[in-house]
A and B are shown apart, each in its own frame.
Chain A
Amino acid sequence: MKRRDTLKAISLGTITATVVGTEAKADVPKKAEAPLSLSDFKNGKSAAERVRDAKIAAEVFFTPHEKQTISVLANYIIPPDGQHGGALEAKVPDFIEFIVKDMTQHQTPMRGGLSWLDTQCLKQFGKKFVTCTKSEQTKMLDQIAYPEQAKPEMSQGVAFFNLMRNLTATGYFTTQIGFNYLGYVGNRPNNWEGVPPEVLKQYGLSYDS
């Protein structure tokens, strides 16, 4: 098959076969219904996976206040620049909401961390993080965003902010906006012909040696 035919053939021809399915077999008791995972794939996911993901998506974990705090933090971590959107444009808070429901190990560190942050802001500025002024907010963040400079009594805040930074970055760079900012240009059919000549030259490398 020629290359262009390959690309054309993608998602055309599929296997048809003699498969002995259950459908043909009679008197199947209802209670012994097939586990969903064994059948009914769609868009690369089994029915069981689709049901599970829809269920996770439908749950609500963060309170509106928590979600708002996450949004403010995410926007501080990856703000928009002149050319590219930031965490909010990339809908990072929605991703964080989903991922903490999917990976329950993140729930307590996130919820507790947000609470820790509000408590600190109350102590230092007499109000919760989201109602602090911008300069109060950055004053707070500067105490927890730099692990090697942070005071020992800020260690829990540092751990929370590291997690928040990680989730924000992952949520951002796994979107089209993030791809564009990063300059990732793969995930498409192409023909690999090696490292571009100007890059080889830049590093003093060659395919001949």
Chain B
Amino acid sequence: MSFQIKEQPTVYDVCIVGSGAGGGMAAKVLAESGAKVALLEAGPWYDPADPKYITQLKNPWESPRRGASTHRPFGDFDAAWGGWELEGEPYTRKSGTQFDWFRSRMLGGRTNHWGRISLRFGPLDFKRKDVDGLGDNWPIGYEDVKPYYDKVDRLVGIFGSVENIPNEPDGIFLPPPKPRLHELFLKKAGKKINIPVIPSRLSILTKPINNERGQCFYCSQCSRGCQAYADFSSSSVLVKPAVKTGNVTVFTNAMAREVITNQDGIATGVSYVDKQNLQEYTVRAKIVVLAASACESARLLMNSKSSRHTKGLGNSSGVLGKYLHDSTGAGRSAFLPHLVDRKRYNEDGVGGMHVYTPWWLNDKKLDFPRGYHIEYGGGMGMPGYGFGFGMENMNGKYPGKDGNKKPAGGYGLSLKEDYRHFYGANFGMAGRGEAIAREDNYCEIDPNMVDKYGIPVLRFNYKWSEHEIKQAKHMQDTFEEIITAMGGIPTGPKPGPESNYGLAAPGRIIHEVGTTRMGDDPSKSVTNRYSQLHDARNVFVVDAGTFVSQADKNPTWTILALSMRASEYIIDQRKKANL
């Protein structure tokens, strides 16, 4: 076997690395403008409507492990081909710190299984430093992004309700689904204790928006990928129409190795290893758009060293990889005694909650900066692996069907009845909050390790600060307040300082951002306000790496808006012959 790098003769207008939210959007916008696009994806092809991939509507017994998460991190039926650990693709951690890095290797990336929670950043979210003096402001504001949020709403589809809450901008909404039973109790409880509970904002089609995509049929399984294309995933909503233009060539199983630059420091293409045959290839392109995820794009840039870019491409500032931050997360569950022996009906609903709590204390002085929103779960969901576990902690505490208490645990018909009695009476909630972006939370290249393709891997250094821990404490207090107002009983002991109040490890919420942050000052940022590298004008980053701060909002809607904005900028600059 001869070892050589195979260079394709075609010079594409654009080479996009990654087919998730950012890459899919760039592919669609650029291809529709007539650009010839090469789209590199490190995983295989995926189409949620192709029967060979479908797990939606499967019953638990169609998995021998009943959908348990032994292998796929969110279970056998989940549409994420990836996880926190990938065979042959390691990463490391520095000085006893922790960061868990979730990667999906498939067309559409992590958009195939995400929660579809599609929140706009508000005016405050772009300028938080003005409020608390921490971190940095974005170089752009809500007014710059709003037109793109509007376009994304129309293009992708989102349900929600107009609420006129200052930092929770309303969008162009489809009608939200009615709350489930426990969600009605939540709304009532919220009123009692002055915590807003409003319809959630999810990119799920409660009404059809075009002829290519269907309408939600309420199976609650968006995380399995939707065969009707009734929710947002980049594979079905962006890549599919992009490919339809005839201007996109998709390279699957293409693991990007380096961005290639010339003597002038300008990118000329991307080299990749084909995971199937382990051969090296180069795709030549006039413009390179990185959308491999915040950390993967940063890694690619760091690995793209040349005489002009000695610290890696786009790293003359030394900021590349720094300011990495993930959302904070903590949760609690509860039992709602008034819901035992509920009448049965199909309560699946959409994939995820029908109501949520946006951050409500912007005007209040607290002992931590920023805020969090609350997501809710509960109802008569489909049993899977784990269903029925821990009955011995329930059936001795609360009366059974006959109204009498009995000894915990047990066996036989009486135990069997208990599972039916308590079914659908549990409820859980999770806070998702904003962490402060810090220079000393970062990823860098590990000098001693490569992955199985020989590509140097990332090493993480990440620690939560007092800010995030205090925020988690506040979450736990709020959770108990809500549970009590609902007439519920919290499950297990309240998480305390020993566990940082249940604060999830960094990376676990899978909202990592900030590694290629944007800014007007090239000495303090990697890209400019149009997501364009300060150091190489024909290289763009359209994943969440450019986020200066994360807000308490899930990042996808902002990735989509900023990728569309950057793509339109590319088209404009091409017209003006600046690119």
Residues of A within 8 A of B (CB): 1-3, 5-7, 9-15, 17-22, 25, 27-29, 32, 34-35, 37-39, 41-46, 49, 52-53, 56-57, 76-79, 81, 86, 95, 98-99, 102-103, 141, 145-149, 158, 161-162, 165-166, 169-176, 178-179, 181-196, 198-200, 202-203, 205, 207
Contact = CB atoms under 8 A, between A and B. Distances in A.
Contacts of B388: 166, 169-170, 172-173
B65 A98 contact: yes
B228 A6 contact: yes
Interface stretch (B41-49, B135-143, B315-323): B41-49
B410 to A, nearest CB: 5
A15 B47 contact: yes
A193 B202 CA distance: 17
10 contacts: A6-B215, A12-B49, A38-B43, A162-B409, A184-B380, A186-B380, A188-B219, A191-B218, A192-B218, A207-B178
Nearest to B349: A192
B383 A184 contact: yes
B184 A192 contact: no
B218 A22 contact: no
A21 B275 CA distance: 11
Interface in B28-81: 43-45, 47, 49-55, 57-61, 64-68, 70-71, 76-77, 81
Given A52-B71, A170-B66, 5 more contacts: A15-B235, A34-B277, A184-B423, A186-B380, A207-B179
A156 to B, nearest CB: 15
A18 B390 contact: no
B430 to A, nearest CB: 22
A10 B178 contact: no
B240 interface: yes
Interface string B220-257: 10000001101000011001100100101111110000
Contacts of B76: 45, 49
A81 B416 contact: yes
B52 A186 contact: no
B65 A185 contact: no
B350 interface: yes
Interface of B: 1, 43-45, 47, 49-55, 57-61, 64-68, 70-71, 76-77, 81, 87, 177-181, 184-185, 188, 208, 210-215, 217-220, 227-228, 230, 235-236, 239-240, 243, 246, 248-253, 274-279, 338, 342-350, 380-392, 396, 407-413, 415-416, 419-420, 423
Nearest to A52: B71
A189 B227 CA distance: 12
Contacts of B61: 174-176
Contact of A173 (B1, B43, B208, B419): B419
B343 A196 contact: yes
A190 B346 contact: yes
A12 to B, nearest CB: 8
Contact of B348 (A41, A147, A165, A192): A192
B345 A185 contact: yes
Contact of B58 (A6, A10, A44, A81): A44
B180 A171 contact: no
Contacts of A162: 392, 409
A199 B343 contact: yes
Q: Which of A39, A149, A169 has the most CB of B within 10 A?
A: A169
A22 B254 CA distance: 10
B262 to A, nearest CB: 24
A11 B227 contact: yes
A183 B344 contact: yes
Contacts of B218: 189-192
Nearest to A205: B184
A149 B392 CA distance: 12
Nearest to A178: B383
A58 B334 CA distance: 40
A53 B64 contact: yes
Contacts of B64: 53, 56-57, 95, 98, 102
Nearest to A173: B383
B415 A165 contact: yes
A102 B275 contact: no
B7 to A, nearest CB: 13
A17 to B, nearest CB: 4
Contact of B253 (A38, A95, A98): A38
Contacts of A198: 343
A158 B393 CA distance: 13
A169 B387 contact: yes
A90 B419 CA distance: 16
A99 B65 contact: yes
A188 to B, nearest CB: 7
A12 B342 CA distance: 37
Nearest to A202: B343
Given A185-B345, A187-B219, A203-B338, A141 B384 contact: no
A102 B45 contact: no
A183 B347 CA distance: 12
A86 B412 CA distance: 10
A57 B235 CA distance: 33
Contacts of A17: 45, 239-240, 243, 248, 250
Contacts of A171: 66
Contacts of A158: 409
Contact of B277 (A28, A44, A186, A193): A28
B407 A148 contact: yes
A77 B412 contact: yes
A153 to B, nearest CB: 17
A181 B420 contact: yes
Contacts of A39: 44, 276
Given A19-B250, A207-B178, A170 B49 contact: no
Contacts of A49: 71, 76
A97 B105 CA distance: 32
Given A186-B346, A187-B57, A192-B218, A19 B413 contact: no
Nearest to A163: B389
Contacts of A192: 177-178, 218, 346, 348-350
Q: Which of A20, A52, A165, A191 has the most CB of B within 10 A?
A: A20
A13 B215 contact: no
Given A15-B49, A22-B253, A146 B57 contact: no
B346 A188 contact: yes
Contacts of B389: 166, 169-170
Contact of B214 (A1, A15, A57, A193): A1
A52 B72 CA distance: 13
Contacts of A166: 388-391
Given A13-B49, A25-B274, A99 B217 contact: no
A6 B167 CA distance: 36
A143 to B, nearest CB: 11
B382 A147 contact: no
Contacts of A20: 249-252
A146 B390 CA distance: 13
B208 A6 contact: yes
A44 B227 CA distance: 12
A2 B51 CA distance: 21
B409 A146 contact: yes
